[in-house]
């Protein structure tokens, strides 16, 4: 598959599995929302956005693996919220508008593919391994429903 990509993209795709996110690779949900305001607004009213309210103090790293965004528990969490990048991947490499609009390039640069129900469920089930607030978890339910579809 890499042989069919343009040379520059082939190199990015070949190196992508070896790249590790660092602190500067995380942009934060507000940065994502500057181009995706409807998604940000829809997310802001979800339990994912309000994770901080569940903890009296900053939670331990082991908790932030699911209740935060960043590299916890192995590294630092950038936010005590399940922000955009908790699901979509650290965004600095693909956040530029021209890169984000080129889906194969964005995916090669670290954006996680959540385009099918199976991929979304696999991503969600990394944290949602049991009922949420006493209700069975539905991995097919929309996380931040928005009517606008992105290319």
In a domain, 59, yes or no: yes
Question: What pLDDT, in 10s, does the model give residues 29-47?
Answer: 999 999 999 999 999 999 8
In a domain, 140, yes or no: no
Question: What pLDDT, in 10s, does the model give residues 114-127?
Answer: 988 899 989 998 89
In a domain, 39, yes or no: yes
pLDDT band at 151 (very low <50, low <70, confident <90, very high): very low
In a domain, 135, yes or no: no
pLDDT band at 7 (very low <50, low <70, confident <90, very high): low
Structural domains counted in the chain:
1
Q: Which domain does 66 fall in, by range? A: 24-124
Task: Flag whether pLDDT at 18 surpasses 70.
Answer: no
CA–CA separation, 123 vs 5, rounded Å? 26
- pTM given for the model: 0.76
Task: Flag whether pLDDT at 49 surpasses 80.
Answer: yes
Closest CA to 20 of 93, 77, 123: 93
In a domain, 17, yes or no: no
Per-residue confidence (pLDDT) for residue 58, from 0 to 100 = 87
5 vs 120, residue with greater confidence: 120
In a domain, 150, yes or no: no
Per-residue b or e along 130-139, where b marks 16 or more CB atoms closer than 10 Å to that residue's CB: eeeeeeeeee
Question: What pLDDT, in 10s, does the model give residues 81-91?
Answer: 999 999 999 99
In a domain, 56, yes or no: yes
């Amino acid at each position: 598959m890499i042989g069919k990509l343009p040379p520059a993209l082939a190199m990015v795709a070949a190196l992508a599995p070896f790249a590790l996110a660092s602190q500067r690779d995380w942009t934060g949900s507000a940065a994502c929302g500057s181009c995706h305001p409807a998604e940000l607004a829809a997310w802001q009213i979800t339990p994912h956005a309000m994770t901080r309210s569940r903890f009296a103090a900053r939670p331990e790293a082991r908790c932030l693996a699911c209740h935060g965004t960043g590299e916890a528990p192995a590294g630092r969490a950038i936010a005590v919220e399940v922000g955009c990048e908790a699901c979509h991947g650290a965004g600095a490499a693909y956040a530029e508008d021209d890169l984000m609009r080129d889906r194969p390039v964005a995916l090669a640069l670290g954006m996680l593919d959540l385009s099918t129900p199976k991929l979304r469920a696999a991503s969600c089930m990394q944290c949602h391994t049991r009922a949420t607030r006493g209700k069975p978890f539905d991995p097919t339910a929309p996380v931040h429903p928005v009517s606008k579809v992105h290319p």
